[in-house]
Amino acid sequence: MEQYIIKGGNPLVGEVDINGAKNAALGILAAAIMTDSTVLIENLPDVNDINVMLEAMSQIGVKVERVTSHAALISSKGINGVSVDYEYIKKIRASYYLLGALLGKYKEAEVPLPGGCNIGSRPIDLHLKGFRALGAEVSIRNGSICAKAEHLHGAHIFLDTVSVGATINIMMAACMAEGRTIIENAAREPHVVDVANFLSSMGANIRGAGTDVIRIRGVERLHSTEYSIIPDQIEAGTYMFAAAATHGDVLVKNLIPKHMEAISAKLIEMGCQVDTFDNAIRISCKGRLNGTNVKTLPYPGYPTDMQPQISVALSMAQGTSIVTESIFENRFKYMDELARMGAMVKVEGNTAIITGVDALTGARISAPDLRAGAALVLAGLAAEGITVIDDISYIQRGYENFDGKLRELGAQIERISTEKEAQKFRLKVS
């Protein structure tokens, strides 16, 4: 099993390029099967979740040609089934986007019900409510969601909770339903807008993506397109916090500054210098960070996927900070690992009370999930001494070349799989 080994204490300095947004790519790949024509998708991140999604698509007969490591041609003519295997759903929940895409195009889909995951129970009742409103019969049989419709028709759908997944799934199905659909209380995340833009580039008629009311007029068919995915807001934010936590100076390039506003605002509150350019942000941070309070919220609020990263920075900041997680119920699991590095944290329900310490110290820790795993890498980079992180496959699901990019910024980090490699690293950095 691979691990990261890190010698902390170096400020990160330099420039880093951000890849395409994983979460946008997952929706866009699913949506790409809604036309019989070939679609070219560019700026795909080369990360494990994307490879699993492409495999799930191949399993139902979609032809996938990886033109480069960051581009794929998708051709769905002659698809041989509408039933997705459990193996894929087990690995990535977001393969449930195939439900909305298949239902929209073929009026039938069978996708295993995703279970809970490491950050919470994650129900999908709103997705199903939306499909039913569009006229589909939806049942759960033998662990799978079976959705079928003679005709899909437009509907007025109010989402009880702001949900990225439900908004994208319903939007896809509604694109090929007869008549007009209105989704109220829709999610406004950048990747919802990106999936909507992609569908529009295939001929879908969608208005209002990026606001909380999305209006869709169904079309009979979608056509070929070439599309480039937006930069990854969360990958960019992770490097911004890596700069802050290590008191570094990093130019994070190829991002959309508008998507980073909630994150930049917090870094400024914490005493970092944040300079915004057309498609880059420079973070420089001298001296100890200030503590602050933060609550995760749907976009344009502070993202839940950036909660562990800010908490790591706050664990070394001046004073006491309060972090409130309002999206997922189980997103503080990594706090026990952080405490093993010397952080002073107390979790009560959905709130973490963090009293900043002067320094963290390296320890052997485990990544409990993707974003918390990345945050623990930041903790290791900032800590005194050596940190070894287990279960890094979680991190590799969503960060392309994470250790390589960090090394470019001066970090002492290696991916290792044997004790001999660990020894070699210790010798090198001692």
Q: What residues from 323 to 362 belong to the interface with ligand UD1 (CB under 6 A)?
A: 327-328
Q: What residues from 216 to 275 belong to the interface with ligand UD1 (CB under 6 A)?
A: none
In the bound state, the residue with its beta carbon closest to ligand UD1 is 165
Looking at the Cβ atoms of 47 and 413, the one nearer to ligand UD1 is 47
Q: Contact region for ligand UD1 (CB under 6 A) — 132-140, 299-307, 311-319, 346-354?
A: 299-307
Residue 285 annotated as catalytic: no
The residues that bridge with 318 in the sheet, in sequence order, are 290
Residue 395 binds to ligand UD1 (criterion: CB under 6 A): no
Binding ligand UD1 by CB under 6 A: which of 5, 41, 94, 252? 94
Q: Contact region for ligand UD1 (CB under 6 A) — 119-127, 315-323, 374-382, 411-419?
A: 119-127
Looking at the Cβ atoms of 154 and 303, the one nearer to ligand UD1 is 303
Marked catalytic residue, from 117, 146, 272, 285: 117
Residue 26 binds to ligand UD1 (criterion: CB under 6 A): yes
Residue 127 binds to ligand UD1 (criterion: CB under 6 A): yes
Binding ligand UD1 by CB under 6 A: which of 58, 69, 139, 161? 161
Closest contact distance (angstroms) between CB of 124 and ligand UD1 is 4
Looking at the Cβ atoms of 26 and 409, the one nearer to ligand UD1 is 26
Residue 163 binds to ligand UD1 (criterion: CB under 6 A): yes
Closest contact distance (angstroms) between CB of 190 and ligand UD1 is 10
Looking at the Cβ atoms of 21 and 39, the one nearer to ligand UD1 is 21
Asked if 424 and 414 touch (Cβ cutoff 8 Å), the reply is: no
**How are beta strands 386-390 and 3-7 bridged, if at all?**
antiparallel
Binding ligand UD1 by CB under 6 A: which of 25, 30, 157, 164? 164
SS3 assignment for the chain: CCEEEEECCCCCEEEEECCECHHHHHHHHHHHHHCCCCEEEECCCCCHHHHHHHHHHHHCCCEEEEEECCEEEEECCCCCCCECCHHHHHHCHHHHHHHHHHHHHHCEEEEECCCCECCECCCCHHHHHHHHHCCCEEEEECCEEEEECCCCECCEEECCCCCHHHHHHHHHHHHCCECEEEEECCCCCHHHHHHHHHHHHCCCEEECECECEEEEECCCCCCCCEEECCECHHHHHHHHHHHHHCCCEEEEECCCHHHHHHHHHHHHHCCCEEEECCCEEEEECCCCCECCCEEECCCCCECHHHHHHHHHHHCCCECEEEEECCCCCCCCCCHHHHHHCCCEEEEECCEEEEECCCCCECCEEECCCHHHHHHHHHHHHHCECEEEEECCHHHHCCCCCHHHHHHHCCCEEEEECCHHHHHHHHHHHC
Binding ligand UD1 by CB under 6 A: which of 126, 236, 306, 345? 126
Q: Contact region for ligand UD1 (CB under 6 A) — 3-11, 38-46, 303-311, 356-364?
A: 303-311
Q: Contact region for ligand UD1 (CB under 6 A) — 163-171, 193-201, 209-217, 257-265?
A: 163-171
Closest contact distance (angstroms) between CB of 301 and ligand UD1 is 10
Q: What residues from 172 to 201 belong to the interface with ligand UD1 (CB under 6 A)?
A: 187, 191
Separation CA 214–CA 170 (nearest Å): 10
Q: Contact region for ligand UD1 (CB under 6 A) — 75-83, 104-112, 123-131, 334-342?
A: 123-131
**Residues with catalytic function:** 117
Binding site for ligand UD1 (CB under 6 A): 23, 26, 94, 122-127, 161, 163-166, 187, 191, 303-305, 327-328
